[in-house]
Amino acid sequence: MKDVILLALESSCDETACAIVKNGKEILSSKVASQIDVHTRYGGVVPEVASRIHIENISIIIKEAIEEAGISMDDVDGIAVTVGPGLIGSLHIGVLAAKTLAWAYHKPLIPVQHLTGHIYANAFVGDLQFPLLALVVSGGHTELVLMKEDYDFQVIGTTQDDAIGEAYDKVGRVLNLPYPGGPKVDKLAKEGTPRYQLPKVHTDNPLNFSFSGLKSAVLQSIKRLERNGEELSVPDMCASFQEAALGHLWSRVESVLDEYDVKQVVLAGGVAANSRLREICTEKMSQRKNVSYIIPPLSCCTDNAAMIGASGYIAYKKGIFCDLDVEADPSLEM
Ligand code: KG4
Ligand code: ZN
């Protein structure tokens, strides 16, 4: 079969990214321009600033990705682009660039939903096996996604309030850690012990998640320590929050594995970069002999365009294309 080479673009939040991906499995190049340094100054992503920096970066990053892959536009079979969900202004820049390339070079345009990209990042490690359970954990989403086959996404659990990455970032903020808090909380937790008591999480549905109570409990705990004149250990608080949050997260995975026929579990999204989550997944999954698992490479956990190329490849094979009048959709579902 002829090789399929896709040029993929991602700009849904604060990363401008372009990748060249062969057959959805081989990364010929993957360039990411992060805006974190800028947004750290404001303590979070400022949408207007993000859009402006995407405009500045996108042509450069496309040129670099093509050069690094050692190909020309003649070799490209299609343009895959994140059309949603995300920040409307940010998405718009990537979609506009993709439409321009598709029009100028007469290439098919492939619309990709961002979270499907996070899931298909696992295809860089090994073949996906269905029925598959994807634990999607990012700054904006926490979902249990059951897939009976390629591109069949059934959301069987979701968060009732905050996404887990959002909770990490909010806890980072109350502990005065720079944005984004997730990676810092992860790092500090390794130096601490989970000695602060945090409440057990309850949800209406046994497959749903809730993280806002944990975040408030951390805040109350800090205030209580202050009132009592006791010193707060930031590493111990990070460890306490992390154990509580990930314990809650993994309990839902166990429930799905007990209830549904699942052949493989995959982690997906920025929080899949968390060292403790990767440890828990490895430990728990090695006890389940009939279910395989994949943890995506660190470089493919946080936002990147290679994952959009991996998902876009499946869409390409299925004949999912869009016209040049496609628009960014900030709340696009899977
Ligand atoms: O997938 P992603 O790059 O963007 C979204 O689609 O949201 O995820 C970003 C989120 C942020 O909330 C960030 O704090 C979190 O992933 N994150 C982590 C770690 N690395 C990134 N959270 C916990 N531990 C980490 N090591
Ligand atoms: Zn993401």
Band the pLDDT of 63: cuts 50, 70, 90.
very high
Sequence-distant (6+) residues with CB within 8 A of 35 are 14, 15, 16, 45, 49, 50, 53
pLDDT > 90? residue 309: yes
- Nearest CA owner, ligand 1 atom 2: 270
- Nearest CA owner, ligand 1 atom 3: 302
Band the pLDDT of 44: cuts 50, 70, 90.
confident
3-state secondary structure the chain: CCCCEEEEEECCCCEEEEEEEECCCEEEEEEEEECHHHHHCCCCCCHHHHHHHHHHHHHHHHHHHHHHHCCCHHHCCEEEEEEECCCHHHHHHHHHHHHHHHHHHCCCEEEEEHHHHHHHHHHHCCCCCCCEEEEEECCCCEEEEEECCCCCCEEEEEECCCCHHHHHHHHHHHCCCCCCHHHHHHHHHCCCCCCCCCCCCCCCCCCCECCHHHHHHHHHHHHHHHHCCCCCCHHHHHHHHHHHHHHHHHHHHHHHHHHCCCCEEEEECHHHHCHHHHHHHHHHHCCCCCCEEECCCHHHCCCCCHHHHHHHHHHHHHCCCECCCCCCCCCCCC
Domain boundaries, the chain: 5-120+301-317, 129-295
CATH fold of 129-295 reads Nucleotidyltransferase; domain 5 (3.30.420)
Band the pLDDT of 230: cuts 50, 70, 90.
very high
Residue 43: what pLDDT?
84
Task: Compute the average pLDDT of residues 322-332.
Answer: 98
Provide Rg for the chain, Cα atoms: 20
Residue 1: what pLDDT?
81
Which tens digits make up the pLDDT trace of 118-151?
A: 999 999 999 999 999 999 999 999 999 999 999 9
d(CA 258, CA 1): 39
pLDDT > 90? residue 6: yes
Written as six digits, the tokens of 98 are 């993709």
**Does 5-120+301-317 match 129-295 in CATH topology?**
yes
Band the pLDDT of 95: cuts 50, 70, 90.
very high
The closest ligand to the CA of 278 turns out to be 1
pLDDT > 90? residue 91: yes
Band the pLDDT of 62: cuts 50, 70, 90.
very high
Give the pairing of strands 154-158 and 142-147: antiparallel
Band the pLDDT of 42: cuts 50, 70, 90.
confident
Ligand 1-lining residues (CB < 6 angstroms): 13, 138-140, 165, 168-169, 180-183, 186, 269-271, 273-274, 302-303
Residue 220: what pLDDT?
97
CA of 181 to the centre of ligand 1 (A): 9
pLDDT > 90? residue 106: yes
Band the pLDDT of 41: cuts 50, 70, 90.
confident
Mean pLDDT rounded to a whole number for the chain: 97
- Is domain 5-120+301-317 given the CATH code 3.30.420.40 in the classification? yes
pLDDT > 90? residue 35: no
